[in-house]
Amino acid sequence: MSMISNLEPTKVFSYFERISKIPRCSGDEQAISDYLVQFAKDRELFVNQDEANNVIIKKPGTKGYENAPIVILQGHMDMVGSKNFDSNHNFETDPIDLLIEGDMLTANGTTLGADDGIAVAYCLAILDSDDIPHPPLEIIITTDEERGLVGAVNADVGPLDGKIFINIDNEDERELLVSCAGGARFNILLPIIWDTYDKALYEGYRVLIKGLKGGHSGADIHLNRANAHKLLGRVLYSLNQKMDCKLITVAGGMQDNAIPREAYAELLIEKSDIADFKAECDRLSKEITHEFKTSDSQIKMEVDEITDLKDKAMADATFKALTDLIMILPNGIQTMSADIEGLVESSLSWGVLQQEENRIILSAAVRSSVKSLKGLINEQLKIFANQYGASYAIKGDYPEWEYMRESKLRDICTGVYERVYNHEPIIRALHAGVECGVFAEKIPGIDMISIGPNLYDVHSPDERLSIPSAKKTWDFLLEVLKEIK
């Protein structure tokens, strides 16, 4: 018996459970893409799989809707693969371990993948139905959204004829999204110089920052949650200033579009400084937990001795360059919109701290609803990289989605929303990337909106989907489709 077989809408959650068994982290979407293709072929529906593994499926309008305007429904098949450090989950082979906690659907120690698996499930449920009235539909499910809307950027939209576009990648049922930020991924690549050292003089310790809330680096950036990399950099900087220590390993985060929840470093501490080292770690731990007692009340800093010491440590110059960089690099909100009250206009978040054999990579998600400000932030980051002998790379650049003053689709959705929910929706611009901006460039004159059920703490192992909200959003979507004739 399926653990979610009794959830409503039944067909939606049935398909969500099916796709949760298929590996579909960003960059590993071949299996899920092929599944969608076979799904369409089994039902004798038009299907197109392009070179980027995006999938388009078409279904004719139902009786009375044969000549209605074509509606494009869109979501992405990939998910962020993030897990707790103590989880043994393998995203390449293991199904997502789904859990029900009250009225929430979540996963065991990993991301849930409702961002954006719920959109895929909605689309499959509609395509598989014979009792839902709807206009002609063009479903496009994209790949690699979470790493910079890559699938959408490379999508072949030639088969698409529709001019009405409903994106299902919002995370709040109260809202109708009408605009979003553009963004890019900025990587700083710092070379590592290695030195030998006298093992007899040092002891090894692992410093772990954990327990942060994390979250989406765009949608949650206004919450001022702690960034594990910035905290670890602060700790390393202080230790390096006050005692003889050397850095062996540093790492943290899993996705550059998620606020990192955990980061760690392996250090060598001169034996004569061990007491001072522990005292300083204790001081910093208390300082950090006090500062973030409201936004990240579960922060912990753990210090454990390690005995398997490597033969090399990073040179003092590399250690200093890294800690200085992490300390001075901007992070979080950069500008607020003067046009839309409460909207974050520009931001960046350092999501991944990765060590390779001869370099350290710092990866940030840069976002702005103003193209020139995104460019300005990138230029500033180039200066920081150059000052510390690092190189840089920009990838995954995607456009913003500008607000349309007149929109028939928005008017329809607003009217249906008021009828279904008995109150007005929030019309909102989002400080995160959705694929509407890319498709607006590819399909001139398209009328767009973005909707979705309530999701919480996406891109983190605390990700949750509200089960009642998934049902209400499903009902809302079906009513909108019924209205388009």
- pLDDT string in tens for the chain (485-residue length): 577 878 999 999 999 999 999 999 999 999 999 999 999 999 999 999 999 999 999 999 999 999 999 999 999 999 999 999 899 999 999 999 999 999 999 999 999 999 999 999 999 999 999 999 999 999 999 999 998 889 999 999 999 999 999 999 999 999 999 988 899 999 999 999 999 999 999 999 999 999 999 998 998 999 999 999 999 999 999 999 999 999 999 999 988 889 999 999 999 999 999 999 999 999 999 999 999 999 999 999 999 999 989 899 999 999 999 999 999 999 999 999 887 788 899 999 999 999 999 999 999 999 998 889 999 999 999 999 999 999 999 988 888 888 888 999 999 999 999 999 999 999 998 888 789 999 999 999 999 999 999 999 998 999 999 999 999 999 999 999 999 99
Report CA-CA distances (Å) from 223 to 12, 352, 363.
31, 19, 21
Q: Which residues contact 14 (CB under 8 A, 6 or more apart)?
A: 2, 4, 5, 125
Report CA-CA distances (Å) from 428 to 29, 355, 432.
31, 39, 12
- Is residue 258 a contact partner of residue 459, using CB atoms and an 8 Å limit? yes
Residue 79 three-state SS: strand
- Give the alpha-carbon dihedral of 392, 393, 399, 400, to 10 degrees: -30
pTM of the complete model: 0.72
CA distance 79 to 31: 13
- Determine how β-strand 164-167 pairs with β-strand 71-76: parallel
| Closest alpha carbon to 236 in 211, 264, 257 | 264
CA distance 311 to 303: 21
Mind listing the domains of the chain with CATH numbers? Answer: 10-181+400-483 (3.40.630.10), 184-397 (3.30.70.360)
352 by Cβ neighbours in 10 Å (0-12 / 13-18 / 19+) ranks as buried
| Closest alpha carbon to 122 in 18, 33, 37, 12 | 12
86 catalytic per annotation: no
Helix (H) or strand (E) holding 140: strand 137-142
280 catalytic per annotation: no
Q: Which residues of 294-324 are buried (b: 16+ CB within 10 A; e: fewer)?
A: eebeebebeeeeeeeeeeebbeeebbbbbbb
CB atoms within 10 A of CB 405: 6
Please tell me which residue in 17, 29, 78, 256 is annotated as part of the active site: 78
- Tokens read off for 21: 């068994």
Helix (H) or strand (E) holding 209: strand 202-210
Look up tokens 């690099």; give the residue.
Answer: 329
Residue 392 three-state SS: strand
Please tell me which residue in 29, 116, 145, 463 is annotated as part of the active site: 145
CA distance 162 to 40: 19
